[in-house]
Amino acid sequence: MITCSAQTVHTNNIKIREISSGSPQASSSRSPQEWQSILSHAVTEPEELLNTLGLNPDLLPGAVTASQSFRIRVPHTYIARMEHGNPDDPLLKQVLPISDEMVEAPGFSHDPLGEQPKNSQRGIIHKYQGRLLLMPGSLCAVNCRFCFRRHFPYDDNKLNKEEWQSALEYIRQDASLKEVILSGGDPLVQNDRRLKWLIEELANIPHLQRLRIHTRLPVIIPQRVTDDLVNSLTSTRLKSVVVIHSNHPNEIDHTVSAALSRLYRAGVQLLNQSTLLKGINDNAETLAELSEVLFHNHVMPYYLHLLDKVQGAAHFEVSEEQARKLVGDMSQFCSGYLVPKLARETAGMPSKTIISPTYHSI
């Protein structure tokens, strides 16, 4: 659907304004607004999610309580890949609030990565050498229950015009930076016009070589991979790397495949990061299948993250010992390049920490 009008899409805490080009020839069958419409119609009430999937209403009170501290958000494109009537569906479990989130777990904090003290320049987290996170906005296409940013004060990170200039100035001033990582929230929630502007600004900074985007949108709403987005990523002098976030092979259906294919064919380097999640992907077969499916779709496995110890996510934790075994087992029946690096992020460390798998002889 192509419209020529200005359209304002309201979501819960942001307003996205997108003006279409009005030129049907310039666009393909993927309307620039389709993804925004899908995003604005995402399920934000636990009851609607349970009803849509035909789940037991007994789950409702826990879901309602848990969603008060971190709201539920799930687009229908993602729900469509869940199994009807299955409360243990591995996609559902990533997004359905449950009463376990209310349990105070020792060692789990509100800011496990120590990001808030580093956040002196608004919109920027600069912890590692040569690269930094630039966060254009606060919204995600989906609210993942295990997310380490569930308590992050995003409202403080919405940039106005001066703050944009000041963030860009920070990057301009530091010639040791080679790579800017757009992160968030999900940076692809920004509209194509804003992203195009941002990518052009970054490309004008001579010491930058790479643009990396950390995003779950190609997985959650694959319609987000518009022609304009692909053009912005490939018409710049910067090398573009898109790091998607997929945790389970069921997440990659034909619509996601098609979106990944568009990026790949245009020359974008594709990587994946996953989080190891109890009851969702904590077995070697599932992890191996995920790697196989990703590679089939031109995506190289990058990181498998141990859960960040954020309050409300303790029920997703897989122990380090168990994780090392899982990756060791996976290495037995996976090509070496399909085994992701098991990583933990520790506050105050100059990089992520890679954890070696444990192997046992046959």
Residues that bind ligand SF4 (CB under 6 A): 140, 142-144, 147, 149, 186, 216, 245
* Contact of residue 108 among ligand SF4, ligand PLP, none (CB under 5-8 Å per partner type): none
Q: How far is the CB of 220 from ligand SF4 (least distance, A)?
A: 7
In 6-30, which positions are buried (b, 16+ CB within 10 angstroms) versus exposed (e)?
ebebebeeeebebebeeeeeebeeb
Question: Which of helix, strand or coil describes residue 88?
Answer: coil
- DSSP letter (8 states) at residue 93: H
Q: Is 140 annotated as a binding residue?
A: yes
Residue 55 structure tokens: 């789940």
Smaller CB separation from ligand SF4, 16 or 140: 140
Q: How far is the CB of 148 from ligand SF4 (least distance, A)?
A: 7
Smaller CB separation from ligand SF4, 68 or 335: 68
Residue 299 structure tokens: 């995506």
Number of H helices, E strands in the chain: 13, 11
DSSP symbols for 109-149: BS-TT-HHHH--STTEE--STTEEEE---S--SS--TT-TT
Q: How far is the CB of 152 from ligand SF4 (least distance, A)?
A: 9
Q: How far is the CB of 101 from ligand PLP (least distance, A)?
A: 23
**Amino acid (one-letter) located at 82:** M
* Contact of residue 216 among ligand PLP, ligand SF4, none (CB under 5-8 Å per partner type): ligand SF4
Smaller CB separation from ligand PLP, 68 or 351: 351
Q: Using an 8 Å Cβ cutoff, are 320 and 308 in contact?
A: no
Q: Using an 8 Å Cβ cutoff, are 301 and 272 in contact?
A: yes
Residue 127 structure tokens: 């912890």
Q: How far is the CB of 226 from ligand SF4 (least distance, A)?
A: 19
Q: How far is the CB of 88 from ligand PLP (least distance, A)?
A: 30
Q: Using an 8 Å Cβ cutoff, are 324 and 279 in contact?
A: no
Q: How far is the CB of 356 from ligand PLP (least distance, A)?
A: 16
Q: Is 147 annotated as a binding residue?
A: yes
Residue 65 structure tokens: 């309580």
Phi, psi for 176 (deg, rounded to 5): -80, -10
Smaller CB separation from ligand PLP, 63 or 213: 213
Question: Which of helix, strand or coil describes residue 84?
Answer: coil
Contacting positions for ligand PLP (CB under 6 A): 125, 127-128, 131, 133, 181, 345, 351-352
Q: Using an 8 Å Cβ cutoff, are 221 and 188 in contact?
A: no
* Contact of residue 125 among ligand PLP, ligand SF4, none (CB under 5-8 Å per partner type): ligand PLP
- The residue written with tokens 């608004």 in the block is 122
Beta strands 300-305; 341-344: pairing state: parallel
* Contact of residue 143 among ligand SF4, ligand PLP, none (CB under 5-8 Å per partner type): ligand SF4
Q: Is 334 annotated as a binding residue?
A: no
Smaller CB separation from ligand PLP, 35 or 148: 148
* Contact of residue 199 among ligand SF4, ligand PLP, none (CB under 5-8 Å per partner type): none
Q: How far is the CB of 14 from ligand PLP (least distance, A)?
A: 23
- The residue written with tokens 């168990």 in the block is 322
* Contact of residue 181 among ligand PLP, ligand SF4, none (CB under 5-8 Å per partner type): ligand PLP
Q: What is the number of the residue whose Cβ is closest to ligand PLP?
A: 127
Q: Which residues contact 17 (CB under 8 A, 6 or more apart)?
A: 6, 7, 8, 9, 191
Cα(317)–Cα(330) distance, integer angstroms: 19
Smaller CB separation from ligand PLP, 335 or 351: 351
Annotated binding site: 140, 144, 147
Annotated binding site for [4Fe-4S] cluster: 140, 144, 147
